[in-house]
Amino acid sequence: MMFEKIKKDYLEAVFDTDGEKAMRVIRDAVAGGVQPEDIVFNVVVPTLDLMVKAFAENMDANLAQHYMTAQIASDVTEEMIPKFKKNPASGGTIVIGTAYGDFHSLGKMIVSGCLKARMIKIVDLGVNVAAERFVGEALAAGAHVIAISAMMVHTAHGEKGCQGVRKLLKEKNLENKIKIIVGGAPFRFDRELYKTVGADANADDGVTAGKIIENLIREVLE
């Protein structure tokens, strides 16, 4: 019952893009004796899942809400993890970056913020990442997923982006070990584009991407 009330208040604050209120809800809960592990796994992560569901059902969700959701989830998780009784189990590893020639980092930041709460290790390659680097760094980190953000048609569709990564994974026989997810405006305007460029999955927004990446990691591990 207590978790339901905390979750409700936290969800409301995130939906209203009220960062201060969201953090106050969390701090009050901790002061009231709620364990840091419960804050992350029974409040923040279920709220992310509720946001994913809400975004899927409600076309009026907007970029500011996505940003705020990720930022708060990231801030709360960073504040709670040092207070955990033991180190949390890893949810897998991903490498993330923007496609070659693309300098738009907002989508990448939103995805990373949401993944942190899911205990997924993120290797952030930054912006303007070549296909060879995506694959090389994924191998070095033992990553299960390569996440590529592209906000422009030529970086989403071009051979130096996802198509190049797919080609390399195929050549190195890594397609069953590393999955590719793409995101960004061009993929929202053409729902089939992710298949054309050789990705395994596409996410409409950064918050939803967190959930899809979690599923992709599970697929690889199975």
Give the interface with another protein as residue ranges (CB under 8 A): 16-17, 19, 60, 62-65, 67-68, 71, 101-106, 109, 128, 152-155, 157-158, 185-186, 189-190, 192-193, 196
What is the closest distance, in whole angstroms, from the C-beta atom of residue 14 to another protein in the complex?
A: 12
The three-point CA angle 49-141-52 to 5° equals 10
| Helices 45-57/106-117 angle, 10° precision | 130
Q: Residue 81 or residue 185: which is nearer to another protein going by CB?
A: 185
158 or 210: whose CB is closer to another protein? Answer: 158
Task: Kindly tell me which of 38 and 79 has the beta carbon lying closer to another protein.
Answer: 79
Q: Which residue lies nearer to another protein by CB, 91 or 186?
A: 186
C-beta atoms surrounding 129 within 10 Å: 26
Report in angstroms how near the CB of residue 64 gets to another protein at its nearest: 5
**Closest separation between CB of residue 186 and another protein, Å?**
6
CB 107, min distance to another protein, A: 9
Looking at beta carbons only, is 30 or 185 nearer to another protein? 185
Q: How far is the CB of 9 from another protein (least distance, A)?
A: 18
C-alpha 7/C-alpha 23 separation (Å) is: 12
Q: In what order do the strands lie in the sheet with 201-203?
A: 121-124, 93-98, 145-149, 179-183, 201-203
**Which distant-in-sequence residues (6+ apart) come within 8 Å of 93 by Cβ?**
120, 121, 122, 123, 141, 142, 143, 144, 145
Please name which of 109, 103, 104, 107 lies closest in space to residue 75, comparing C-alpha atoms: 109
Q: How far is the CB of 74 from another protein (least distance, A)?
A: 12
Kindly list the distances between the CA atom of residue 27 and the CA atoms of 19, 23, 44, 206, in Å, as whole numbers in the listed order: 12, 6, 13, 26
Nearer to another protein, 61 or 217 (CB): 61
